[in-house]
Amino acid sequence: MLREVNPIGGFEKANSVTDVVKKTRTDLSDVMYVGDSITDVQCFRLVKDGGGLTVSFNGNAYAVREASIALLSNNALVVAIIADVFNRLGIDAVFNLISNWRYEALEKFEVSPNLQTKLRKVFKAELPRASEITASNMKELACESSAFRKLVRGEKVGKLG
């Protein structure tokens, strides 16, 4: 099914998500969508309105404004952890984990020991930034995430919409 998906632009991405949900006979509330730019806005809205989880991963301001969670990391392990918790325990558990974002919380939410070990190897001192996006922190997170995006992806790519 994924070989059939070749979306270009936000409208086609949203159509692809809708198509996958229909073909797999699932619900938007079962979807975790990860994006980083303006081309993900329609998917963020679709999934969020359907009760699913939306994650900005090193996103620009457009992504941060539309997502529920912002992740800033130079390694996608953090996305795997969020996906693991969402899959096993649901969206409320993800928000609880994010609000207690420490190594001890990973154990409490029974994150795979293998993922925890890998994460500790990459991030020895502290976990990468993970925050629920709220009206009060959205502007700050958008600035921080955009700056981090440019650092990780380079200035030229980091400026892309």
What is the full per-residue pLDDT of the chain (161 aa) written as tens digits?
555 555 566 688 899 999 999 999 999 999 999 999 999 999 999 999 999 999 999 999 999 999 999 999 999 999 999 999 999 999 999 999 999 999 999 999 999 999 999 999 999 888 999 999 999 999 999 999 999 998 887 766 545 55
- Helical H runs in 36-76? 41-49, 61-66
Whether 156 maps to a domain, the answer reads no
Whether 134 maps to a domain, the answer reads yes
CATH number of residue 62's parent domain: 3.40.50
pTM beyond cutoff 0.85: yes
Asked if residues 21 and 51 have their Cβ atoms less than 8 Å apart, the reply is no
pLDDT number for residue 70: 98
What are the tens digits of pLDDT across the range 102-132? 999 999 999 999 999 999 999 988 899 999 9
Whether 55 maps to a domain, the answer reads yes
Asked if residues 20 and 5 have their Cβ atoms less than 8 Å apart, the reply is yes
| Owner of token pair 């086609």 | 12
Domain residues for 60? 2-150
Whether 49 maps to a domain, the answer reads yes
Query: In this structure, what is the dihedral angle of CA atoms 76, 37, 87, 133, given to the nearest 10 degrees?
Result: 100
Q: How many domains does the chain have?
A: 1
Whether 155 maps to a domain, the answer reads no
Whether 159 maps to a domain, the answer reads no
What tokens does 14 get? Answer: 């949203």
